[in-house]
Chains A and B, each alone.
Chain A
Amino acid sequence: GQQLNQSPQSMFIQEGEDVSMNCTSSSIFNTWLWYKQDPGEGPVLLIALYKAGELTSNGRLTAQFGITRKDSFLNISASIPSDVGIYFCAGHAGNMLTFGGGTRLMVKP
Chain B
Amino acid sequence: EAGVAQSPRYKIIEKRQSVAFWCNPISGHATLYWYQQILGQGPKLLIQFQNNGVVDDSQLPKDRFSAERLKGVDSTLKIQPAKLEDSAVYLCASSWGGGSSYGYTFGSGTRLTVV
Contacts and interface: CB of A to CB of B under 8 A. Distances in A.
Interface of A: 4, 6, 31, 33, 35, 40-45, 48, 88, 90, 92, 94-102
B14 interface: no
Contacts of B44: 99
Interface stretch (B66-74, B77-85, B106-114): B106-114
Question: What does DSSP make chain B's interface, helix, strand, loop or mixed?
Answer: strand
Interface in B51-81: 55-56
- The 10 A-B pairs at the shortest CB distance, nearest first, are namely A42-B106, A99-B42, A92-B101, A31-B101, A43-B106, A42-B108, A42-B109, A99-B43, A101-B42, A42-B91
B42 A95 contact: no
Interface of B: 4, 31, 33, 40-45, 48, 50, 55-56, 91, 93, 97, 99, 101, 104-109, 111
A102 B96 CA distance: 25
Contacts of B93: 42, 97
